[in-house]
Structure 1
Amino acid sequence: MPPFNVRRLGPGDEHVLAQIAQDETDFTGEEPSPPLSPEAAHDYLSDPAVWHWHAETDGQPIGFLMAYVHRQRHGEARHVMFEEIGVRESWRRRGVGRALLAALHRQMRAESIGEVWVLSDNPEAQAFYEDGGYAVDELQGVLLSRQVDDREA
């Protein structure tokens, strides 16, 4: 396998998000997601609370990690919600995921943020996180969501 590098995405990398959305199944096993509009992708990549890393080789994406910085009303002022990681099937078990986690942890140290958490309902992903030093804090079995539209008063 050729070498790869990891970098944090920013404005100007909107095309990378579109490519990841198009190839979603290879990265995460999920159906492809509709990509953000160019304007929404620019806003996403310009938001300092969004941390999105990209692993690539020869200009092609082979992995990504997305996290958010959250402010809190108590305890530590900020923590990180590690939202999602994906590595192309052909690149798994070659250190890409570990390199992406290392980039996240370096950024946290640089910004003096001590806590990160991630949700996992996949045994393989949970084993990966635990291998990276994460521990199960609590088991939660319910995720609730709601769509809010303009017609509501």
Structure 2
Amino acid sequence: MPAGVLIRRIGPKDAGALNALAERDNHFDEDPATEPSGALTPDGARDFLADPSVLFWLAEAGGQVVGFLHCYVQRRRSSGPWAELLLMEMGTHADWRRRGIGRAMVAAMEVWMKESAVAEVWVPANTYAVGFYRKCGFVADEGAILVKELH
């Protein structure tokens, strides 16, 4: 990872950073020509980050966000581990790719998992990202992730 890059988990006091990212998160996607997702209200951003099921990390360099990773903690209803993670979204700024930032963010997530006794993480990976996740140790599971959008 490049010198000067810091990875940190953010919380409610970082709502401004979350909203600043949302205004330009298209630069972290495969196709930066897409529209950015857009910011939440300040209260909405604080509430999102205050949710105990939300985990959000930023990679920063020189005061700028160069990567992010967003997970949800999912409690289990059966015996065994108390929870698992769903890795919802992750991105590295186009100008900062292939420098180890993505792997470092996954490593930060794994540290949290070990400290929190969470043994499993799932990722519904876009096709272009599957190779990255495999290099990070993810493997294909049986079954498929299906999506249904209500209109």
TM-score by length of 2: 0.90
1:114 aligns with 2:119: yes
The equivalences for 1:2-151 within 5 A come to 3-28=4-29, 29=31, 30-75=34-79, 76-122=81-127, 124-140=128-144, 142-146=146-150
One-letter code of the match for 1:10? Answer: G
Give the match's secondary structure for 1:12.
Answer: helix
Give the match's secondary structure for 1:143.
Answer: coil
For residues 92 and 70 of structure 1, do their structure 2 counterparts lie closer, same or farther at Cα, with a shift above 3 Å needed?
same
Aligned to 1:151: none
Indicate the structure (1 or 2) with the bigger Cα radius of gyration: 1
Choose 87-96 or 30-39, whichever is displaced more.
30-39
Moved over 3 A (4+): none
One-letter code of the match for 1:59? Answer: G
Shift of 1:17: 1.2
Question: 1:120 and 1:63 mapped to 2: Cα distance?
Answer: 17
Gapped regions of structure 2 (runs ≥ 5): none
Which digits, 9 at most, give the CA deviation of each residue in 1:38-67, with x for residues without a partner?
001001111121100000011110000000
Which digits, 9 at most, give the CA deviation of each residue in 1:103-147, with x for residues without a partner?
10000000001010101132x310000000000103526311326
Q: Considering only aligned residues, what root-mean-square deviation do their CA atoms show, in Å?
A: 1.5
Give the match's secondary structure for 2:90.
Answer: strand
For residues 112 and 60 of structure 1, do their structure 2 counterparts lie closer, same or farther at Cα, with a shift above 3 Å needed?
same
Give the match's secondary structure for 1:45.
Answer: helix
One-letter code of the match for 1:24? Answer: D
| Contact in 1 for aligned 2:124/2:145 (Cα 8 Å) | no
For residues 44 and 135 of structure 1, do their structure 2 counterparts lie closer, same or farther at Cα, with a shift above 3 Å needed?
same
Question: 1:31 and 1:136 mapped to 2: Cα distance?
Answer: 30
- Between the aligned residues of both structures, percent identity stands at 37
Which has the higher relative contact order, 1 or 2, with Cα contacts under 8 A spaced 6 or more apart?
2
Which digits, 9 at most, give the CA deviation of each residue in 1:65-90, with x for residues without a partner?
00010011114321000111010001
One-letter code of the match for 2:23? Answer: Q
| Equivalenced residues, count | 146
